[in-house]
Structure 1
Amino acid sequence: MFKVHAIAPHRLPELLRVMPKAELHIHIEGSLEPELIFALAQRNGVTLPYADVEALRSAYAFSNLQSFLDLYYAGASVLLHEQDFYDMAWAYFEKAKADHVVRAELFFDPQTHTARGVGMDKVIGGLSRACRDAQTQLNISADLILCFLRHLSEDDALATLQEALPWREHFIGVGLDSSEVGHPPEKFARVFARAHELGLHVVAHAGEEGPPAYIWSALDVLKVERIDHGVQAIHDAALMKRLADEQTPLTVCPLSNLKLCVFKQLADHNLGQMLEAGLCVTINSDDPAYFGGYLNENYLQTFAALQLNAQQAYKLAANSIEASFAPEADKHRWMHELKLCFQGFSEQD
């Protein structure tokens, strides 16, 4: 374990901002800011049920996951053409660059768009082009993970995967998102088995609002490599031990958990407890346009609320890099950069 030398507390926020980090849980449709929603609506002749940007932003008061999803799908209605998907992703990448993100693995929901008659080629075409440009123009390594909407049927998910296969080279894995409660992971056993056959990485949302049992089945039935969220694991001691022993990455999203009322206040969040228990925890932004902050804001607010320290900052950033699906050579380089960043801060104190 890399030993972080003492860093003055007042310098910790700046360290959090500039340290290299990966983002492993970002729904690209959830990065669609109200200003861009209105710009795309005007460009595409889409009428929105909100008078202006301020009216839309004021609707961002959620009581649970479903209340957010209703607005999320309405916002996505402005995405019609390949350039729309490119513009949305590029806006995210510019913010990611400012947050010193070196690796981003973007979730996207094709069913949200194909159900509206938008072609898979437009969705994947725009997003993959933005990923390529992020690498060449911003030096951000980026890949796509195709997510299935769990409130829809498994047959629909299987059809979606089949429809996406002509663009297989443009996405590295599959995931499972949308309404969790009442839609356990095992509902999607066949489509995840197919993804394994295709050599795709597999991840799944579990234990956000759903019980620890959903995490168990994501691991044992879907055989996922990462758990997205996973905060409800804290209620199952055997599961906590397994997650620690196996070092299964958890892509935790603190501001999302706060905004969706998973925790009443950020100071109640269990991220610190999970770190102390030895779990491979990472910090991510989830749907930053809706939840009040991109990656650095999640770090800054969480560290302030939980009074976390520089050693924990290093661990979280290192976890994010190591848990990514990037090539090993890239991970090795970023880990070296991370250590140099921390050494630079310690030498200045």
Structure 2
Amino acid sequence: MTWLVTGAAGFIGSHAAHVLLDRGETVVGLDNLNDYYDVRLKEARLERLASRDGFTFHKASLEDKPALTKIFEQHNIKKIIHLAAQAGVRYSIENPDAYIQANIIGFQHMIDLAKEAKVEHFVYASSSSVYGSNEKMPFATADSVDHPVSLYAATKKANELVAHTYSHLYGLPTTGLRFFTVYGPWGRPDMSLFLFTRKIIAGEPIDVFNHGKHRRDFTYIDDIVDGVIRVADNTPTPNPDYDPLSGDPAASHAPYRVYNIGNNKPVELMTFIETIEKHLGLEAKKNFLPLQPGDVPATYADIEPLRRDTGFEPRTSIDEGIGNFIDWYRTFYN
């Protein structure tokens, strides 16, 4: 079977592509290699994939529908894991247009081509940020997500709505995945673990927002990818028993689902930092700051529906996951 993985040079996408190749699938990778963060890291991820049988790469942007159309014409794509997007909560305040182009227009291009190609399953990245100002914990997919606090979150909520429309109108099976703070080897340099590690080693102070009282459902990359593949293998079907009066926005009469993928064990930011210090053998210089615009004080995933439907179970502790990242970081950056 041929799979299209968008964002194949990205953190989650590159890991997902390796897992699919490990089990003998054919993988078509798509990425535009933008400079939102260090392109050399993206190229290094791609270099590892390029050496593997069964992998083909196309450089293209989601906004370029003719280029995307050619990719679909060249390959008999059966399933899509759509992870390419403009990432980052704070950057969405500085550059909103990038999010409209990639996350709204680009998403519509991709799902429209999936519909035309009659793919078996369109799996796409949503985000825990859609929960916005919700205060009920843990966050559940049955909760309302109508109060985003960043444009990034608003675009991800819009993706879920567009996906439902395509599932309803065209019978396209779609599943949205709300990721909760992914970390691990080959991670993104704009994320806290990468930033903290680099600055602590350099002896520079780290910015500790919300005075270290943030709580995040940090989820290790291997657990995330296990969940992604389990979901991709579990194609949703129409649910004639769905009760519209239930008010559950994560289910439908249509072949449509939305799941949380998280560790289900939130960790306070100061504990996270202390674990990094332990594995580095260094103490961080800390610059305590208030909560930033667009940020939320806590995330906590209710993953029971994902457990029920796919058998997903996160297995990696924060201590093990951070240790693995530090080992990779020291090797990669010599």
TM-score (norm 2): 0.34
Of Structure 1 and Structure 2, which has the larger fraction of its residues in helix? 1
After TM superposition, the score normalised by the length of structure 1 is 0.33
